[in-house]
Structure 1
């Protein structure tokens, strides 16, 4: 299976519409891939909080339209990263869109864990409630977004739902890049799954982005890692390795739930 992670640069001198056009062109260039992934909030920038409301769009908005067409043109499964979604009730969500090779919306996921503590995304956007998996011909994908990476219980729920490949678009800051790599590898090892984590390059509202998109196998080995700038990271991997790993080292079968508190 071939996956291409588009580590697009997000900078203030490029409008969201211009970046949509550019991102669509980059997706079309990945024809021949099985899965293409874009980062979190690449239309606005994950830290450009002031732009969330101004650039929010309905689920079937301009990003949906552009990415559906790009997925269809390229004939790829496309995780189109996330957009600031304005729900019918006016509330905002950080929502990921996944398209089939025919351009149909196969799934959407509202980010469950919002970053910012008492400011930014945490107060501007609503929280999702349900984990989301998507069945591709080669593998079942579990969908998560950026800050979700810090919460292992979400990934265990995705694994329990059949996820074999965990796809994580992000707008991760450079100052915490060590955590990005560490957590991506940890999620892969503990769930015995592939991790495809796609970040952004550039600077969002003065926050330098980490880049360094990464693909990790079920043993925690890094198969490919991008640099800091804009690039497309393409990797071939064997989804059947998940089943082999879980059979050879069946740690997931030894889970024990409901342990009594220590005395």
Structure 2
């Protein structure tokens, strides 16, 4: 299976409409891939909180339409990163869209764990309530976004629901890049699944992005890793390896659930 992780740079001087069209052209250039991925909040920047309300759009807005067209033109499964969605009730969400090679919307995921503690998206956005996975011809992908990576129970839930490949779209800051790599590998090892984690490049709202998109196999080995700058990271991987690793080292079968904590 061929995957392309588009580590696009978010430059505050580039108009959102221009970056949207540029992202679409990068997707179309991946014609021949099976799966293409974009990072978190690439239209506006994951830390550009002051822009969220102005750049929010409906689910069926311009990002949806441009990405659907790009997926169809490229003939790929497209994980279109995420954008700021304004729901019908006015609530903002950090929302991911997945499209089929025909340009049909296959899934919607709203980020569950919101970053910022008492500021930023944690107070500006609504939290998603559902785990979401998508069955591709070669593998089942489980969806997550950035800060979700710190919460192993989300990924365990995705694995329990049949996910074999865990996808993370992020706008991860460079100052915590060591956590990014460590957590991506941990999620792969503990769930015996591939992890495809795509970040953004550039600097926005004064926050330098980590870049370093990474692909990890079910044994925790790094198959490919990007640098700091904008690039397209491509990798070939065998989805069947997930089942092989789980069969040869069946650790997931030894889980003990429902234990009571002693106080």
Which category of TM-score, normalised to the shorter sequence, fits these structures? over 0.9
**Which whole-Å CA distance do the structure 1 matches of 2:15 and 2:115 have between them?**
24
Which position in structure 2 is the counterpart of 1:227? Answer: 227
**Which whole-Å CA distance do the structure 2 matches of 1:86 and 1:262 have between them?**
44
Which position in structure 2 is the counterpart of 1:192? Answer: 192
**Which whole-Å CA distance do the structure 1 matches of 2:132 and 2:85 have between them?**
17
Measured after TM superposition, the shift of residue 103 of structure 1 is: 0.2
Q: Which runs of 5+ in 2 are unaligned?
A: none
Does residue 128 of structure 1 match 2:133?
no
**Which whole-Å CA distance do the structure 1 matches of 2:16 and 2:149 have between them?**
26
Measured after TM superposition, the shift of residue 92 of structure 1 is: 0.2
Which position in structure 2 is the counterpart of 1:63? Answer: 63
**Which whole-Å CA distance do the structure 1 matches of 2:16 and 2:196 have between them?**
25
Which runs of at least 4 in structure 1 moved beyond 2 Å after TM superposition?
none
SS in structure 1 at match of 2:114: coil
**Which whole-Å CA distance do the structure 2 matches of 1:30 and 1:238 have between them?**
19
SS in structure 2 at match of 1:97: strand
User: What's the CA shift string for 1:190-239, capped at 9, x where partnerless?
Assistant: 00000000000001210000000000000000000000000000000000
Which position in structure 1 is the counterpart of 2:175? Answer: 175
SS in structure 1 at match of 2:36: strand
SS in structure 1 at match of 2:134: strand
TM-score by length of 2: 0.99
RMSD of the alignment, in Å?
0.5
User: What's the CA shift string for 1:174-202, capped at 9, x where partnerless?
Assistant: 00000000000000000000000000000
Which position in structure 1 is the counterpart of 2:114? Answer: 114
**Which whole-Å CA distance do the structure 1 matches of 2:222 and 2:120 have between them?**
32
**Which whole-Å CA distance do the structure 1 matches of 2:93 and 2:260 have between them?**
37
Measured after TM superposition, the shift of residue 261 of structure 1 is: 1.5
Does residue 39 of structure 1 match 2:77?
no
TM-score by length of 1: 0.99
SS in structure 2 at match of 1:26: helix
Q: How does 1:75-154 map to 2 (within 5 A)?
A: 75-154=75-154
How many residues of Structure 1 are paired with residues of Structure 2 in the alignment? 263
**Which whole-Å CA distance do the structure 1 matches of 2:258 and 2:23 have between them?**
46
Measured after TM superposition, the shift of residue 262 of structure 1 is: 3.5
**Which whole-Å CA distance do the structure 1 matches of 2:43 and 2:249 have between them?**
41
**Which whole-Å CA distance do the structure 2 matches of 1:161 and 1:59 have between them?**
25
Measured after TM superposition, the shift of residue 258 of structure 1 is: 1.2
